[in-house]
Amino acid sequence: MIYTTLLYIFTSFIITFLTIPILIKFANTTNLYAEQNYRSSHKTPIPSLGGIGIFMGICFSSLLLTKNSEFNSIQYLLATQFIIFFLGLKDDIFVLSAKKKLLVQFFCAQIIFIYSGVRIDNFYNVLGLGELTLIQSNIITVVTFIGLINAYNLIDGINWLAGLIAISSCLFLTYWFSINKFELELGLTLSLLGSLIAFLKYNKTPAKIFMGDTGSLLIGLTISYLLIRFINLNHKSTDLVLTYRSAPSIAVAVVFIPILDTLRVMFIRIFNGDSPFKPDQNHLHHILLKRGCSHIQASLILFAINCICIVIATTLHKTTGKIVIPSMFIILFTFFNIIAFNRINKKYFNVTI
């Protein structure tokens, strides 16, 4: 078990670590840089092809080390990872409309739901809900995949942030899958973890490369898949060393910062009469940057908050669904709004930069 664990993380780390310098050189030679706009927090051209390195690390490690007898369990995840990879790559180079990206994400979620059987089919009394019908399960599962894919895409705005938040999720999943001996899921988690650690080396300020949509969309898809597996295995498996009374609530805590950030910016945009998909500078990391934090400081603060939310939720898991998760949303939503907005106009929130 220990040998396999080290092999997964080492293999993905090495592949990503060796691939990214090649991507940086290629991007610099061909002038493939991240698009500069008014929301950019970087003043110099930087390549946005880091997601290719992350993808190579995850896929190579998974294809090389997954047992033949278990490969059919992840073939549909790998297939959708390939689709999401090319979607993100095309968006990084040519820029796609939100509608096209959502359509492809919907297609990928349906593939996993229909063919792999990885789905949310029970809320286990969270919000008073229990077993879901097939249609309800399909809707909730698809919304979860699309929501988390785009949530990770939205927080990828400064150095280290998306990578660190994903690492906090991977650390929890690594612990739970390993202690309960789910080797397949553990291998997938470690493949992602190793690639992310390697990527952070090149994304540290001054960043040499960004992960781009290729990386953030891939991370969102993979973590969505692993969290749904966590929920299913927690409630349906027997003889587990560690179980939680409400796995869906724990899953929310594991990706708390991406969910909070997405809900918050969409609420503000709708309040302002804008489209919820309109880009702006109201994200959590923008708030911290405007208050004097560096990229790395802001990323570490949000990483720490996400880790604290995971610890609180897992410690108080028997009451998580009823009290802890809603309380954390209210407290942090209020806190970030207080430090973000110095005054409130009757019609619009106004940010003082």
Range 220-248 average pLDDT: 95
C-alpha–C-alpha distance, residues 165 and 48, integer Å: 19
Give pTM, 2 decimals.
0.93
pLDDT band at 254; cut points 50, 70, 90: very high
Is the pLDDT score of 346 beyond 90?
no
Residues 271-308: tens digit of each pLDDT? 888 888 788 888 999 999 999 999 999 999 999 999 99
Is the pLDDT score of 323 beyond 90?
no
Residues 89-125: tens digit of each pLDDT? 999 998 899 999 999 999 999 999 999 999 999 988 7
Long-range pairs of 204-207 with CB within 8 A, sequence gap ≥ 24: 204/159, 204/160, 204/296, 205/159, 205/160, 205/294, 205/295, 205/296, 207/42, 207/46, 207/159, 207/295
Computed on alpha carbons and rounded to an integer, the radius of gyration of the chain in Å comes to: 20
User: What are the CA-CA distances from residue 67 to residues 6, 109, 229 (Å)?
Assistant: 16, 24, 18
Residue found by looking up tokens 């660190």 in the block: 164
pLDDT reported for residue 350: 40
How would DSSP label each residue in 4-32?
A: HHHHHHHHHHHHHHHHHHHHHHHHHHHT-
Is the pLDDT score of 149 beyond 50?
yes
Q: What does DSSP assign to residue 344? A: E
Beta bridge partners of 131: 122
pLDDT band at 344; cut points 50, 70, 90: very low
C-alpha–C-alpha distance, residues 312 and 335, integer Å: 18
pLDDT band at 347; cut points 50, 70, 90: very low
Residues 152-194: tens digit of each pLDDT? 999 999 999 999 999 999 999 999 999 999 999 999 999 999 9
C-alpha–C-alpha distance, residues 342 and 333, integer Å: 15
C-alpha–C-alpha distance, residues 248 and 126, integer Å: 7
C-alpha–C-alpha distance, residues 5 and 299, integer Å: 27
CB atoms within 10 A of CB 330: 10
Name residue 60's amino acid: F
CB neighbour list of residue 58: distance below 8 Å, 6 or more residues apart: 12, 81, 191, 192, 195, 218, 222
